[in-house]
Amino acid sequence: MRKRILLVTLLVSVLGLVLLTLLFSGMSYSRSAQAASGQLSVLMDMYAADHISAPLSDETAQALSAEMGGTRVTFLLADGTPVGDSEVPAAQLSSHAGREEVQAALRQGEGTAVRRSATLGKELVYYCRYFSQQGVLEGGGAAEGFLVRFSGEASSFFGVFTQALPTLIWLLLLDLLICLFVAWIATSFILQPVERLTQAAATAGNKPVRTEYPELMPIAKMMNEMNAEIGAQMAKMQEDHRMEKLVLNSMEHGIVIFRSEQDVLLINKPAMRLLDYEKNEPIACFTQDGEIASILAAGEPATVNRRLGEREYSLRFTFGDRANVLLITDVTELMAAARSKNDFIANVTHEMNTPLTSIRGFAELIGAGAIPPEKLPSVADTIIRQSDRLSNLIRSIINFSAIDADDLPDYEVDLSEVLRETAVNFEPSLRQKDIAFTLEVEGSVKVLSRRERLVEIVNNLVSNGIRYNKEGGRLQVKLTGGEEPALSVSDTGIGISKENQSRIFDRFYTVDKSHNGAGGGFGLGLATVKKLCRRAGWKLSVESEEGVGTTFTIRFCKKK
Ligand code: ADP
């Protein structure tokens, strides 16, 4: 800006100076021409006074010229024919009728012209006057009216200009210096408010910038608007960034965006925690874990599972042009579910295998005729029992698996009534073991569920209470109502050890493996009860002491 102003000022001043010089040269030139023609006019007066009667010849012209200090003298007839000339013999000269000064003199008595003489090759000032009296010609004749022309050297415009040139150069240099100095001060003075405004805008922060100069007010206004817009954009970007960080850090997955193990672009808090990562350090597992190191070297998408602390995680690596991504996902439950599914299949296969082997064995023996006829009824009985056991197992498995698919709607079921009705079914088994049974039921306690689910629960708990009871023992079923109804089934049976209390709800878990299948027990009863309670949101608990007895309690909490 400053440079521009200086340059423009200099250009304008140089241009001005050159123009002034040209003007001055022009004026000097025209003044010198005027002065020269004035001098010639005075000489013409002298001629008119003293030499008018002299003959109009080359000789007279030469004598006059010598007298006038070298001024060229030309005598012309009224038609422009030269009859005497101090420089060139008149006979050699052509008619001067067309010359500007001659025409003017013929018109108005006298005429002046400045031009380059073709004869002498110089810039000349011509002054011509017309005399109406008779002029004496050289041969003795007379001319009716004649013209006398004086011409003297005039300085040319170029001459004047070249004369002025050295002065002009000096002036130019002086002008440059003065201009530079003045322009420097002027620009500083002019630019000061602009510089102050720029400085204020740079340091103002959120505050608006102000100026007392009306010319700068639109700029200040624009700056303030821009500042406000930039401020808003920055705030939005910061908010977006904050949100991104919040989302990334509150994710349960770990995310790492990296270019190499040394160059981590982004890592969220869960990933930092899981990978034990400190800022500006290489990620340890990237170099120390051989499998991961080879995945990184190959640069092909791959997944590995690793136990990080208490839980199991899947580490999924994907590779891009600009950056690579590691996604860490907690797969503990997924893996446990997969393992549990495998265990379940293994258990089912195992449980099925036992009766099937027995049935097949007996069938082969019968086929081979290896069973004596009197033992056939008892073998047939074993085959029937094993078949019953197999179908019991299949029913239990179907029953257990069906719970997951059961999405039938709940309704209010009178649990008191369900208990009273099902109790009747247990009477034979109770009697068989001589168990004293008490049923304490409060009026009508209603629970939001389905009748078949409640029957399933009651059947499992009560049949266990009979199965694992002692001969002549007691079994008490109690149902209390109120805000949170509760059902408890207490027996005075063999009890469950502390260690087993946490495992009895697992599928296919039986404390005493020897009784498996006896009376249909495959370790699915309590797992079914637990599953039903969990789905309904009820609390199932067990209290037991070995050799004393066991109490199972269900609290029917209302779903929130
Ligand atoms: P099962 O069909 O074998 O009875 P459950 O899932 O009902 O399977 O029970 C799992 C295990 O818990 C049983 O094998 C048994 O050892 C133990 N158990 C269940 N109920 C009682 C109880 N009332 N008293 C003692 N042990 C019990």
Confidence of residue 516 (pLDDT cuts 50, 70, 90): very low
pLDDT score of 199: 83
Residue 520 predicted with pLDDT over 80:
no
Which ligand 1 atom sits nearest the alpha carbon of residue 511? 16
Do 421 and 368 have their domain in common? Answer: no
pLDDT, residue 155, reads 63
409 and 394 in a single domain? The answer is: no
Predicted pLDDT of residue 14 = 77
* Cβ–ligand 1 contact at 494 (below 6 Å): yes
Q: Is 490 in the pocket of ligand 1 (CB under 6 A)?
A: no
Say if residue 515's pLDDT is above 60: no
| Cβ of residue 525 lying under 6 Å from some atom of ligand 1 | yes
Retrieve residue 396's tokens.
């239990």
Query: Which residue has its alpha carbon closest to ligand 1 atom 8?
Result: 523
Evaluate whether residue 326 is within a structural domain.
yes
The confidence score (pLDDT) of residue 559 equals 64
List the residue whose alpha carbon is closest to atom 20 of ligand 1. Answer: 464
| Residue 560 counted as domain residue | no
pLDDT at residue number 52: 85
- Cα 260–265–269 angle (5° rounding)? 110
Q: What is the pLDDT of residues 59-83, one digit of tens each?
A: 999 999 998 888 899 999 989 999 9
Does 434 or 274 have the greater pLDDT score?
A: 434
Could you tell me if the CB of 464 is within 6 A of ligand 1? yes
Residue 255 and residue 240 share a domain = no
Are 255 and 318 part of one and the same domain?
Answer: yes
The helix or strand, by DSSP H or E, that contains position 174, with its residue range, turns out to be: helix 157-203
CA of 502 to the centre of ligand 1 (A): 12
Ligand 1 lined by 319 (C-beta under 6 Å): no
Whether 254 is in the pocket of ligand 1, judged by its Cβ within 6 Å, is: no
* Among 295, 291, 253, 294, CA closest to 275: 253
- 413 and 550 belong to one structural domain: yes
| Backbone angles phi and psi of 552, in degrees to 5 | -100, 130
* Residue 304: per-residue pLDDT: 94
Q: Which atom of ligand 1 is nearest to the CA of 528?
A: 6
Question: Which pairs with CB-CB distance under 8 Å and at least 24 residues apart come from 23-28?
Answer: 24/164, 25/157, 25/160, 25/161, 25/164, 26/157, 28/160, 28/164
Give domain status of residue 290, yes or no.
yes
Decide: 527 in ligand 1 pocket, CB within 6 A.
Answer: yes
Q: Ligand 1 pocket, 473 CB below 6 A?
A: no
pLDDT at 552 over 50: yes
Provide the CATH number for the domain around residue 14.
3.30.450.20
| Residue 504 beta carbon below 6 angstroms from any ligand 1 atom | yes
Are the CB atoms for 529 and 399 separated by under 8 Å? no
> Domain check: are 10 and 142 in the same one?
yes
Q: Which of 224, 244, 264 is the last residue of a domain?
A: 244
What is the Rg, in whole angstroms, of the alpha carbon atoms belonging to the chain?
65
> Is the C-beta atom of 85 inside 6 A of ligand 1?
no
> Dihedral through CA 4, CA 5, CA 6, CA 12, nearest 10?
110
Q: Whose CA is nearest to atom 19 of ligand 1?
A: 464
Domain of residue 233, residue span = 214-244
Rounded average pLDDT over 81-105: 91
* Atom 13 of ligand 1: nearest residue by CA position: 510
- Cα(40) to centroid of ligand 1, in Å? 152
- The residue whose CB lies within 8 Å of the most ligand 1 atoms, and thus the one to mutate among 526, 529, 546, is 526
Which residue, of 282, 305, 330, is where some domain finishes?
330
Nearest to 128, CA basis, from 88, 156, 98: 98
Over the range 316-341, which residues count as b (16 or more CB within 10 Å of their CB) and which as e? ebeeeeebbbbbbebbeeebeeeeee
pLDDT of residue 167 exceeding 60, the answer is yes
How many percent of the chain have pLDDT more than 90?
46
| Residue at 165 is within a domain | no
pLDDT(241) > 50: yes
In a domain, residue 336? The reply is no
DSSP 323-388: -EEEEEEE-HHHHHHHHHHHHHHHHHHHHHHHHHHHHHHHHHHHHTT-S-GGGHHHHHHHHHHHHH
Does some domain include residue 57?
A: yes
Asked if 433 and 524 sit in the same domain, the reply is yes
What mean pLDDT, rounded, does the chain reach? 87
Helix axes 451-467, 525-536, angle to 10 degrees: 140
CATH at residue 525: 3.30.565.10
Is residue 550 within 6 Å of ligand 1 at its C-beta? Answer: yes
- The count of domains in the chain is 5
pTM: 0.50
The CATH number for 365's domain is 1.10.287.130
Asked whether residue 270 falls in the same domain as residue 284, the answer is yes
Query: Ligand 1 pocket, 526 CB below 6 A?
Result: yes
Question: Does residue 512 lie within any of the structural domains?
Answer: yes
Q: Are residues 411 and 508 in the same domain?
A: yes
CA–CA distance, 245 with 255 (Å, rounded to integer): 11
State pLDDT tens for residues 338-382.
887 888 888 888 888 988 999 999 999 999 999 999 999 999 999
Last residue of some domain: 330, 357, 382? 330
Q: How far is the CA of 519 from the centre of ligand 1 (A)?
A: 12
- 444 within some domain: yes
pLDDT band of residue 19 (cuts 50, 70, 90) is confident
229 lies in the same domain as 288: no
481 CA distance to ligand 1 centroid (A)?
Answer: 27
Q: Are residues 377 and 325 in the same domain?
A: no
pLDDT of 518: 47
Shared domain for 21 and 112, answered yes or no, is yes
Would you state the structure tokens that stand for residue 33, as one six-digit string? 């021409």
Instruction: Look at 40-49, 438-447, 482-491 and tell me which has the smallest mean pLDDT.
Output: 40-49
Residue 65: which residues within 8 A CB-CB, separation 6 or more? 71, 72, 73, 86, 87
